[in-house]
Structure 1
Amino acid sequence: MSLLYPRLLRARAKELAEEYRTLDLASLTARWSAYDDSAVYVATGGARVQPDQLTELRQTVLDLAERSGYPNPPTQDQKTTFDLTLAETLHRNMQLAPAEAAAGDVWAFLALILLPDVAHWRYPKPPGDRVRGSDLTRHVFGRLWWRAQLVHAPEDASPYGALKVLGESAFDQIYARRSALGGSSHLIKSILRVWNNLDLAGLTERNVLREFLKRLLRLAPFVLFDGLDDDALDEELTAVAYETIAGILSNAGATDREAAERARKATARCAPGSLSTPAEPAGSAFGEWLVDALIRTGVTRERLATKLGVTPAAVSAWLNGRSNPREPLKRDIAVVLGMAPPSESRSE
């Protein structure tokens, strides 16, 4: 059963956020409580969390903070360890429904009433959005619950293992676009699977992710991501990653062939079923020709798929050398692109 948490009214949250910026940790510790006169609950949606449960939650979070140096200022490594551990702990223990977790007032109560000392230890003299819940991508606790929610895979041996795939700023990029991406945890988990197997040596991860998400958003109106199984979705996102990397390198001055080769190397480990040792490509000659042809003609993977009546994932498999189209389809491709395919490519 999900629990309902007290919500700190905005005027009260603003008042406390300003007042607390001038207090030291000892004073803040003296101010914590499991109750506040201005706190309210929504009428329905679960059972109200009890004061003893809130007290237990506080002690659990405080224990984690102490392992990371509390009350002394934490190092960067201690901050990272605390955040990753706390993300899993909050998600496991709070019994929050996503609708409840989307309410900033809930997180304002945690940061300003239940755990003001821990919140201000993690972010000394914090700006308002770190404690008031006005921006959940920035909130000291709310952002961590949502990171865990986005990656949680209960069927896996390590349900929260993907928390370590991306850093905080990368998760912020994904979380900020969750509405446009349909809020799909299925899609988010696929992004993390693909991302975990990309070879981004020599590239800036933040820039690649930003461009990757832009391309994904353009694709979103045409692809029902939740309708694809894991392998098909991973295939789709691998193709988006390939195009992203090739595009970034081309814009940076690489030749078309250099960009295509680097993009192929970057995504070689992302194919479903070959995450450890990539198999030899089945039709690399045709794949190389098709990459060149798309770049030269300016035809996108999606447009070619539409013209041929196939899925973008099928085109991706040709581009990455995992399969080849049969001869009749090769002729159709040649017509669409106005270029003859290599005669030595074998079909499958």
Structure 2
Amino acid sequence: MVSVEVSTKVFPARPSAVPEIREFLRGCLADSPLPESEDRELGNTILSTLLAAAGPAGMIEISCRKYPGRVEFDVLPSATAHLDPATPEPDPEEPDPAESFAEWMTEALRRTGTTREAAAQRLGVSVKTVNRWIGGQTEPRLRELRRIQDQFGDVPLR
């Protein structure tokens, strides 16, 4: 018989959840710390996997299975309509202490010389949606973030 420890957590499919997701994964890897290069690779893999797994419910479910000598992860879209009760709901009024998505998006538009109207058209969203992102009122879901990355480059993970 093999001992297996399973941890599962549901996260909102938003860029602001990425640091919490990475911390969850690091907790799963606590007994086997990664070198810096593999940590960077893990961050890139997490983002690309989350982008591919984002579903219409806007939630991502991550499961960690610890076996003796190895750890496995699953990243899946989740139909769960609520977060883990231990995870507080994000406060939309509270700014992220790190560079916010709004600041990054504003800079990306300035850097590329793109108007909000042109960005909305290129991303397949309304100008009102782009204005809300830039104003910090909302953040894109991961399925929208994929299009943003395709048009404006990698969103930094803070």
Shorter chain as denominator, the TM-score bin is 0.3 to 0.5
| Rg larger for | 1
Q: Which has the higher strand share?
A: 2
Higher relative contact order (CA 8 A, sep 6+): 2
